Structure 1
């Protein structure tokens, strides 16, 4: 029994030295957990910056044409003459051959883009050149009236107008030239 008492006494003595470990609750992740989960701070900042910087919206050439903007040509129009440009405007119905022999700007019927300031200036130059031509023709044949000179010239010129070009008929309506 003595042994038993000694054991009991030893157990009680050691019980005072043995305690349960202190438990600490932490509301943050440990350093190892933070490393494992990764940090997205840099990615979040780049995403926020990208959202603040507006960038252009890519449009196809067809969408640009629908908006009335002609895309820049891939090849420069170095070899185009003024007559080629007028033919293009006639084909697009931006300009029409009037029955009086002058070019008429017909913007409302214009297809595939708009007329630029250069196009308007070209039409004015062509009309001025035609007026000068008719004036010169009158000096060569002074006995012919101006109206007759214009009509004669216009009939001959109408044959050379590009197929599909916008022309005014004798009754004042506009339509494409049939070939």
Structure 2
């Protein structure tokens, strides 16, 4: 009986000595683990700031023209007349001299740039001025048909078109004026 009592006492005392280990749950990684996993807050902040700092984007003149922006000329255009601007548009093939004597919008053939709103307004002004000129010529020669007056004016005017300008031939095709 004595042994039973000892065994009973040992059995009751044993659970007090033997217990499960403490389990510690960590919800955050240590600094070393953060560095090893690639968490660099300071570096990320500096990189984000560098990405947000505004700076000009380098564009070539051709890229600017594709966006519809005319680059600033190297030489001031002081003294340029409307005729000079029309000659430039004819040379770039943005506008063509039609066989009917009027300027024609040929922007699909345009080289080096696009037609600006000012260019379109200029073409409209020139065409309106030509129509008024033909009406005035008609008052001077009322017996002459308007088509013959227009054709004779166009033949004389075609001689003065700038070399390399975009012109419409009699068969309706477009090409550069040869000089």
Q: Structure 1 length as normaliser, TM-score?
A: 0.71
Structure 1 residues 46, 76: CA separation in 2 closer, same or farther (over 3 Å shift)?
A: farther
Q: Which residue of 1 aligns with 2:52?
A: 52
Residues 86-165 of structure 1: matches in 2 within 5 Å? 86-165=86-165
Q: Which runs of 5+ in 2 are unaligned?
A: 1-30, 32-41
Q: Which residue of 2 aligns with 1:15?
A: none
Residue 136 of structure 1: how far off its partner (Å): 0.5
Q: Which runs of 5+ in 1 are unaligned?
A: 1-27, 29-40
Q: Secondary structure at the match of 1:167?
A: strand
Q: Secondary structure at the match of 2:172?
A: coil
2:62 touches 2:112 (CA, 8 Å); kept in 1?
Answer: no
Distance 2:123 2:151 in 1: 20
2:68 touches 2:116 (CA, 8 Å); kept in 1?
Answer: no
Runs of 4+ displaced beyond 6 Å: none
Cα RMSD for the two superposed structures: 2.2
Aligned length: 141
1:68 touches 1:112 (CA, 8 Å); kept in 2?
Answer: no
Residue by residue over 1:18-38, the C-alpha shift from the partner in whole angstroms, topping out at 9 and shown as x without a partner, is xxxxxxxxxx9xxxxxxxxxx
Q: Which residue of 1 aligns with 2:173?
A: 173
Q: Structure 2 length as normaliser, TM-score?
A: 0.71
Residue 62 of structure 1: how far off its partner (Å): 3.8
Distance 2:157 2:166 in 1: 14
Residue 52 of structure 1: how far off its partner (Å): 2.6
Residue 131 of structure 1: how far off its partner (Å): 0.5
1:95 touches 1:107 (CA, 8 Å); kept in 2?
Answer: yes
Residue 112 of structure 1: how far off its partner (Å): 0.3
